[in-house]
Chain A
């Protein structure tokens, strides 16, 4: 069964460093998403991506964040200068539909720890 994969599973970085979180969505999916979940808190939407551009982003997704689909398979989230409060689990997801009405397929997550 196809699945969304994410690497690395755990990333530790120093405050101020740049990190890139990588995701490989399911191959025929059209919409891609990043979410984050700070420990003990609810999941939060960061950004959605369709047709090689951002379709919607939340207030959290400020200038420190960027997304890219550099080739036909990878979908990346970059944090330019990490802060302590960026420590969280980051989930990538994809769905096959033109609309968000379709089932979301989540990756296993990358745990980011900023020291």
Chain B
């Protein structure tokens, strides 16, 4: 069974800072997803990765399949980035979620 870990658990940053959230998993996967959960509970998919790197606006996600590790970076962070960021992995149709990283960006 895949175990997904994230670090840090909680992160407080000042507006404008560069942020990195890490995810590691224990067994091979088909894909890795980065999700954003807003304070109200809604979940939005940010990235789906199976290799390499993806960029969307100020967000960058990378994955190293050999090391079973992924990172989510936020450049020029903003208070509206405050949310819980969740890493989820899938092999087949079963998704395993990480515990989430709670990010607070202060103005």
Contacts and interface: CB of A to CB of B under 8 A. Distances in A.
A44 B42 contact: no
B94 A42 contact: no
Given A100-B30, A101-B31, A106 B93 contact: no
Nearest to A108: B42
Interface stretch (A19-27, A48-56, A66-74): A48-56
Nearest to A57: B94
B30 A99 contact: yes
B11 to A, nearest CB: 17
B92 A100 contact: yes
A105 B45 contact: yes
Instruction: Please classify how large the interface on chain A is, using the bins under 10, 10 to 19, 20 to 34, 35 or more.
Output: 20 to 34
A109 B45 contact: no
Interface stretch (B13-21, B65-73, B75-83, B97-105): B97-105
Nearest to B33: A104
Which secondary structure characterizes the binding site on chain A? strand
A48 to B, nearest CB: 4
B39 interface: no
Interface string A55-88: 1101000000000000000000000000000000
Given A43-B86, A91-B43, A109-B42, A101 B97 contact: no
B74 interface: no
Contacts of B92: 56, 100
Contacts of B86: 42-43
A31 B92 CA distance: 12
Contacts of B99: 42
B52 interface: no
Interface string B10-40: 0000000000000000000011010100000
Closest 7 CB pairs of A and B: A48-B93, A56-B93, A106-B43, A43-B97, A45-B95, A101-B31, A42-B99
